[in-house]
Structures are given as C-alpha cells and as structure tokens.
Amino acid sequence: MSAAIEFKNITKKFGSRVVLDHLNLTIPRGKITFIVGKSGEGKSVTIKHIMGLLKPDDGRVIVNDQDITDFTHEELRQYRKNFGMLFQQAALFDSLTIGQNVIFPLKEHSKMPLAAMLTRVEESLTQVGLPNMQHRYPTDLSTGEKKRVGLARALVAKPAIILYDEPTTGMDPIVSEMIDELIVKINKDIVDITSVVISHDLKAALATAEYIVFLYQGKVALAGTPNDFKASKDGVVRQFFSGKVDGPMEFF
C-alpha cells in the first residue's frame, strides 16, 4: 500500500489533555479513507496536522513522501496548494456568483490566463453535475447544490488530496447519499486523487470508504477495509458501530 499521508508517533496535547497519543496512521494514496471516531476524539485535530495548521508536540507528519513537520510558513503556503478542502458549511460568498466563488482558489494560487481559468471553472462545475450555473448566486441554490459548488471550488485547482469535513452532517438522507456518490465519482474520475473524509456516519463509511481509520483515546483502535470492520470482534469497535451507549467505550 503506497501511503499518501503518514503519522509517525504523533503526540498532541492541549494543556494537560492528551488528544493524540503516540498516534501512528497511514492513509493510502488514491483511495477513499474515512476517519471516524466519536466527538472529541481528535478527528479535526488530525486534519489540522495534515494541513500543517497545527504542529505536533512530538512525532513526524509525512505527506507524499515529504516530511512537513518543520515546514516554514512559506513552505506550508506552497504545500497547501496540494489540498482541496470541503468545509462543513459550504462557506460560499453569497455576494459573489457561483463562477466567482469557484474561481477563487485559481486566482489565489495560479498564474493561468483568465480564459483558461474560466474553462477550468466550468469543467469543475460540470464534474459535480452543475453545468451552466456560473452566473447564478448561492442564495438561489438548495443545500445540496451549495455543497456541490463547494466541492467544485475544492477541486478547481486540481488538488492531489481532497479533505471532506463531515460532508453529510445535517443533510437529509437523499442529499447525503448523493454527496457520498459524488465522493466516489470524484475519486474515480480524478486519477490518483486521495480522498479523506471525516464522518460520524458509519453507514456511509461502510458503504463508501475503501479504508477506515477509527480513532479512540488518541490512537488508532482499528484501521482496515469495511469488511475488516464488519468482521471485528473488538468490543469498542462493535460498540461504535452499534451506536449504543452501553459497552466498554469510555466517555469523558
């Protein structure tokens, strides 16, 4: 398995609270990996380490064979161009058109001529099933459509890694399924793109993920395929997947 992202012995504390505790994890290249765990287990903190928004107290973060742990500000700025991020709230600018929203990362990061940028924006919107929408405004869109525009914006600069933070939380089941299908489609359409999804939605993880990393008490309790999870006899894993309060899992 070729790794896109590796955490080597990462420890992160906030005050006396140890959030990541000698955490080792591997996210495979070119696949869809779900990072799951109950609230407060460090999923967002993990994503922030991947993007270099937080630095570990100890350990190394390796992304695409580069050790990014000690990157300078400027190195991180360059490095972050490798990422597309779909935020929990679509985070569109309501005063800008859809086209202006999607072109934003290109204007920030690339020196492409404007005509090429506009072509790329339309390609990206078409990829998420929203062609010919550039002149409309976000306020005219449904929640699912806004999410797709957010996804088009995340993809426009052709990232090597796309990060989804709780992409379906708070969405109705049909929109959720559509987003999950889109995650699969994007991962298929774009050769070598690595997709990392933070999610509470275990059904979606089992249906959509190729690899699942389950965080518990600052470590990986289990990492493997959906079938590995279905077959696991581990008490904490079983409890998490059954969604029951009673069991061996500790709540703080």
Binding positions for Mg ion, rule: CB under 5 A: 43-44
Of 13 and 80, CB closest to ligand ATP? 13
SS3 percent helix, strand, coil of the chain, rounded to 5, is: 40, 25, 35
Choose the one of Mg ion, ligand ATP, none that binds residue 37, judging by a C-beta under 5 to 8 angstroms depending on kind: ligand ATP
Stretch of 11-19, 66-74, 201-209, 219-227 lying at the interface with ligand ATP (CB under 6 A): 11-19
Rounded Cα distance between 250 and 252, Å, is 7
Residue 146 near ligand ATP by CB under 6 A: no
Residue 39 near ligand ATP by CB under 6 A: yes
Residue 218 near ligand ATP by CB under 6 A: no
Number of chain residues interacting with ligand ATP (CB under 6 A) = 11
> DSSP 3-state assignment of 145?
helix
Choose the one of ligand ATP, Mg ion, none that binds residue 49, judging by a C-beta under 5 to 8 angstroms depending on kind: none
Of 90, 154, 93, 162, give the one whose Cα is nearest residue 128: 154
Rounded Cα distance between 163 and 5, Å, is 12
Q: Which amino acid is at 204?
A: A
Choose the one of ligand ATP, Mg ion, none that binds residue 52, judging by a C-beta under 5 to 8 angstroms depending on kind: none
Shortest Å distance, C-beta 156 to ligand ATP: 26
Of 246, 247, 242, give the one whose Cα is nearest residue 202: 242
> DSSP 3-state assignment of 215?
strand
Residue 43 near ligand ATP by CB under 6 A: yes
Shortest Å distance, C-beta 178 to Mg ion: 23
Rounded Cα distance between 149 and 141, Å, is 9
Residue 49 near ligand ATP by CB under 6 A: no
Is-contact 215 41, C-beta < 8 A?
Answer: yes
Residue 42 near ligand ATP by CB under 6 A: yes
Choose the one of ligand ATP, Mg ion, none that binds residue 19, judging by a C-beta under 5 to 8 angstroms depending on kind: ligand ATP
**Residue whose CB is nearest to Mg ion in the complex, by number:** 44
One residue of 1, 2, 14, 248 binding ligand ATP per CB under 6 A: 14
Distances (CA, A) of 108 to 105, 156, 239: 5, 12, 45
Return the structure tokens found at 90. 């679509």
Choose the one of ligand ATP, Mg ion, none that binds residue 84, judging by a C-beta under 5 to 8 angstroms depending on kind: none
Shortest Å distance, C-beta 113 to ligand ATP: 40
DSSP string, 90-131: ----TTS-HHHHHHHHHHHH----HHHHHHHHHHHHHHTT-T
Residue 170 near ligand ATP by CB under 6 A: no
The contact set with ligand ATP (CB under 6 A) reads 14, 17, 19, 37, 39-45
